[in-house]
């Protein structure tokens, strides 16, 4: 069974804000999830200390977050062997599960397995990875995550050099050659979100800009308004 991928509301080009839990207080996860209840998605960074030089959390913690989160989970797997591990996150109820292209031996199979388990399938590329290398497989995915920092840590500076990849993906979506949400992750804040929105991003991950704010709900609303204005041009 292949789950219906994106519905028309998903692709309406309203900005979607996904706070990254990486910048939250891990000792108070349920409270930290509740603080971003106004978000569109909750971005959960899974790192295995092999694909990236950092270790965060895995499936049991994602299952626990899923039970308390009022918003759908966007799991970003920065792990080796995603073929083996990714479907478990879909089975846990994550709405979108993103794997790294650089870690996949068979991206199409991962997409198929994720959709069969009821999730959207996402493909991520690191800042130095060309979009062209994966154009042929992107047709099988529902979301495309362009990393705008080297994966591994929150709080890094935005790499604007990745924006041509966003523009190209946007063109392909607008031309009807791809049907997916374009997501950006890393260094998104009030100073960078507009250029990302202008380039064609649909879904904005923000860790330190949301959890580092005194009022995360206000930060989410402000980022959403900025992105919406920039999208309207």
Catalytic site includes residue 45: yes
Enumerate residues 164-193 that contact ligand DX5 by CB under 6 A. 185-188
Q: What secondary structure letter does DSSP report for 156?
A: P
Catalytic site includes residue 185: yes
The closest residue (CB) to Zn ion is 76
CA distance 213 to 140: 37
- Cα dihedral sign for 20, 22, 25, 28? positive
Query: Which string of x and - marks every residue 97-136 that binds ligand DX5 (by CB under 6 A)?
Result: ----------------------------------------
Enumerate residues 26-55 that contact ligand DX5 by CB under 6 A. 43, 45
The residue within the footprint of Zn ion, chosen from 140, 142, 185, 202 (CB under 5 A), is 185
The residue within the footprint of ligand DX5, chosen from 72, 127, 137, 156 (CB under 6 A), is 156
Q: Which two tokens stand for residue 61?
A: 């913690």
Measured at the alpha carbon of residue 172, what is the angle toward residues 7 and 78, in degrees to the nearest 5?
Answer: 75
Q: Which two tokens stand for residue 16?
A: 């979607």
The catalytic residue among 48, 140, 185, 202 is: 185
CA distance 192 to 2: 36
Enumerate residues 100-159 that contact Zn ion by CB under 5 A. none
Q: Which is nearer to ligand DX5, 10 or 45 (CB)?
A: 45
Question: Are 94 and 120 contacting, i.e. CB atoms less than 8 angstroms apart?
Answer: no
Closest C-alpha to 184, from 9, 20, 5: 20
Active site residues: 45, 185
- Interface with ligand DX5 by CB under 6 A: which residues? 20, 22-23, 43, 45, 76, 149, 151-156, 185-188, 205-209
């Amino acid at each position: 069974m292949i789950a219906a991928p994106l519905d028309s509301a998903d692709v309406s080009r309203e900005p979607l804000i996904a706070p990254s839990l990486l910048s939250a207080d891990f000792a108070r996860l349920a409270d930290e999830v509740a603080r971003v209840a106004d978000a569109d998605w909750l971005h959960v960074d899974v790192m295995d200390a092999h694909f990236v030089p950092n270790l965060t959390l895995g499936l049991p913690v994602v299952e626990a977050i899923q039970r308390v989160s009022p918003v759908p989970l966007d799991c970003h797997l920065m792990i080796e062997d995603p073929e083996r591990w990714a479907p478990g996150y879909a089975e846990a109820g994550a709405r979108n599960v993103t794997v790294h292209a650089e870690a996949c031996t068979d991206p199409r199979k991962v997409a198929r397995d994720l959709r069969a388990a009821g999730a959207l399938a996402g493909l991520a590329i690191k800042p130095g990875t060309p979009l062209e290398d994966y154009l042929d497989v992107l047709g099988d995915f529902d979301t495309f995550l362009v990393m705008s920092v080297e994966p591994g840590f929150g709080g890094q500076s935005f790499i604007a050099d990745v924006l041509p990849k966003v523009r190209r993906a946007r063109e392909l979506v607008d031309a009807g050659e791809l049907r997916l949400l374009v997501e950006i992750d890393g260094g998104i804040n009030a100073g960078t979100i507009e250029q990302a929105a202008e380039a064609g991003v649909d879904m904005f991950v923000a860790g330190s800009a949301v959890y580092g704010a005194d009022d995360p709900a206000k930060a989410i609303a402000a980022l959403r308004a900025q992105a919406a204005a920039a999208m309207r041009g």
